[in-house]
Amino acid sequence: MLGIPTGVKVHSAVYAVGPRAAGEVAAAYLDGRAPVRECEVVDRSDPARVSARLYGHLPVPVLARRVQHRKIGSTVTEGEDLAGIAASVDLEPGVLHVFGPGTTTRAILRRHGLRAPVTGVTAVLDDEVHPDIDARTATALAGRAIAVRLILSPVGGQGFLLGRGNQQLLDLVPRAELTVVATEAKLAALGGRPLLVDTGDEELDARLRGHLPVLTGWRRRTMYRLV
């Protein structure tokens, strides 16, 4: 089995990193170049909660950097780094701040006294908080702002920054300032693998690739590769 991602955040390790990668894996499997291994089938048992449940294992053809790893959640030992990240991000007047899903970005919102669901995209413009926005709302809010800032955290254990669970903000990417936040433990869990983008727009993906600063704690940044 090999899953083809379509833009939503997926927890299982049975998916390719993108549609093109899925084709490459399938071709390699047919040529005998992709070994098969047992991979975990994981998903949230309750859509309102972040925790995931293991449903079993499936045989999956694998090819280096073409099949994603399972999603890994934050741990309690990352609390100090999360607090440092949250204290390092200020909200500026007139700027549309768009927060991607995840516990790291929610720590920033909590530090500013704001509440929002962990699994959605939340926009903040001055004293307005818009949880679970769609693409139309994101574009409308951007039209009222003097600037746009995206605050994103990669999917734990997988490294996806754009194209998984945040498709609704992709139209904002060309005009937005990008702030990437992740604890050092989250980056370490990638095992040296790069951050990933899968926007569906090859030109946009190419513009985003390179090394970018990642906020990992109180006023602490590290350069990390994105492909």
pLDDT tens figures, 112-121: 999 888 889 9
pLDDT (mean) for 11-17: 70
pLDDT tens figures, 169-214: 999 999 999 999 999 999 988 888 899 998 889 999 999 999 999 9
pLDDT tens figures, 202-220: 999 999 999 999 999 988 8
**Tokens 């727009």 belong to which residue?**
201
Distances from the Cα of 1 to the Cα of 25, 103, 163, angstroms: 11, 30, 22
Q: In this prediction, what percent of the chain has a pLDDT beyond 70? A: 83
pLDDT tens figures, 142-165: 999 999 999 999 998 889 999 888
pTM tops 0.85, yes or no: no
pLDDT (mean) for 29-57: 66
Residue 7 has what pLDDT? Answer: 54
pLDDT: which is higher, 80 or 16? 80
